[in-house]
Structure 1
């Protein structure tokens, strides 16, 4: 009798335990769900951009003019403000960035004065130039170090002279040439970047007057530019 009662109690306890475990299994979990991982977007230089720049330019070439006593001799040099706008496109693959950029600039770097003998006739130093360039660089996350080069054009200076018959003459001629340079650009935000850039520009300027005739005399228009700028990159 005692043995049967013990077996009955043991079985009851076992059934109760199993029922409790089954109910616990049906209850919702008390553990927090696994966190959802969302990777931060990686910055890329790829995209179209537009911007503005300003800086200083200085004439490195020699403006030549005709002197009846000494022949073709050198004139003066000058420098001044440079500023304008640019637009372009970059494409990034890995650490490397390739792109193209065009810009148009006001430039007070020319020597548009004229000389005759020992007399100098001041002219206007302001002019303009533009470039169409390729860019290639290496990106270190938001920093970009690049080189650039391509076609240049403009009316900067070195295209004025004094004609012995007609007096002071000045032409407005747009001349072609080339440019090369480099710079550093940093993305302040995903859309706005700031840069510092240096360029060397060489325009093939030819204009001189002797005896009423425009002569094809080389009047070098070579100048350097150091400028800072900002760009806005479209998403």
Structure 2
């Protein structure tokens, strides 16, 4: 009788322990859940962008007239404001970035003119230029160091004057040439970038003629530009 009672108690205890283990397994864990990390997407330069810029340009070429009385006149160099807008596209491959950009600029870098004998040859510093360029650079996180070059076109102004023999004239014309430059750009946010850029622009020399084929003018259009800009990059 005693042995039977002890066996019954032992069996009951075993059932209770097994049931407790099952219930404990069903209960939620009291340990803190593992933290969930949302990976921050890496910035990429790939995408289209549009922006604006402003800076300073200086004329390194000449713009002259031939006057029968005074010979070649003109050629005063000047510098002034440049500003405009740009549109482009970048594609990033690892640390390397390639792209293309076109811009159109107002440029006050023409000649100022001056007196030559009794005649005043009035300069015209107002003009414009544009470029269509390739870009290639190295990205270091959100910074981009790049070189650029391509086709340039424009008219940055020239001399004009009231000549007694040749009459009043203006020698404005759109020229084509090339441009080279370099810059640094930084992504302030994922969509907004800021840059500083320098360009050298060389437009083909133009010669103008007037009244019976008399040689009237020469323009060597070269100028440098340093400008700052901001872009909005589309994702």
TM class by smaller structure: 0.7 to 0.9
* CA apart distance, 1:53: 0.7
**Paired position in structure 2 for 1:50:** 50
SS of equivalent residue, structure 1 residue 182:
strand
User: Within 5 A, what are the aligned runs for 1:1-235?
Assistant: 1-68=1-68, 71-72=71-72, 75-111=75-111, 113=113, 116=116, 120-158=120-158, 160=160, 165-209=165-209, 212-213=212-213, 215=215, 218-235=218-235
Per the alignment, do residues 123 and 64 of structure 1 end up closer, same or farther by CA in structure 2, a change over 3 Å counting? closer
With the length of structure 2 as denominator, give the TM-score of the two structures: 0.87
Verify the 8 A CA contact 1:146 1:183 in the aligned structure 2. Answer: yes
* CA apart distance, 1:72: 4.5
Any idea what the Cα deviations from partners look like across 1:50-79, whole Å, max 9, x if unmatched? 111111100011223325477557621011
Any idea what the Cα deviations from partners look like across 1:3-54, whole Å, max 9, x if unmatched? 4443333332222211221222233333444333321111111111111111
| Cα distance in 1, alignment partners of residues 62 and 96 from structure 2 | 38
Per the alignment, do residues 88 and 177 of structure 1 end up closer, same or farther by CA in structure 2, a change over 3 Å counting? same
Report the more deviating stretch, 32-41 or 194-203. 32-41
Unaligned runs of 5+ in 2: none
Verify the 8 A CA contact 2:47 2:233 in the aligned structure 1. Answer: yes
Query: More strand per residue: 1 or 2?
Result: 2
| Cα distance in 1, alignment partners of residues 122 and 160 from structure 2 | 10
Verify the 8 A CA contact 2:87 2:101 in the aligned structure 1. Answer: yes
Any idea what the Cα deviations from partners look like across 1:173-227, whole Å, max 9, x if unmatched? 1110111001111111111111111100011131344655364864211000011
Verify the 8 A CA contact 2:199 2:224 in the aligned structure 1. Answer: yes
Unaligned runs of 5+ in 1: none
Report the more deviating stretch, 20-29 or 53-62. 20-29
Report the more deviating stretch, 83-92 or 214-223. 214-223
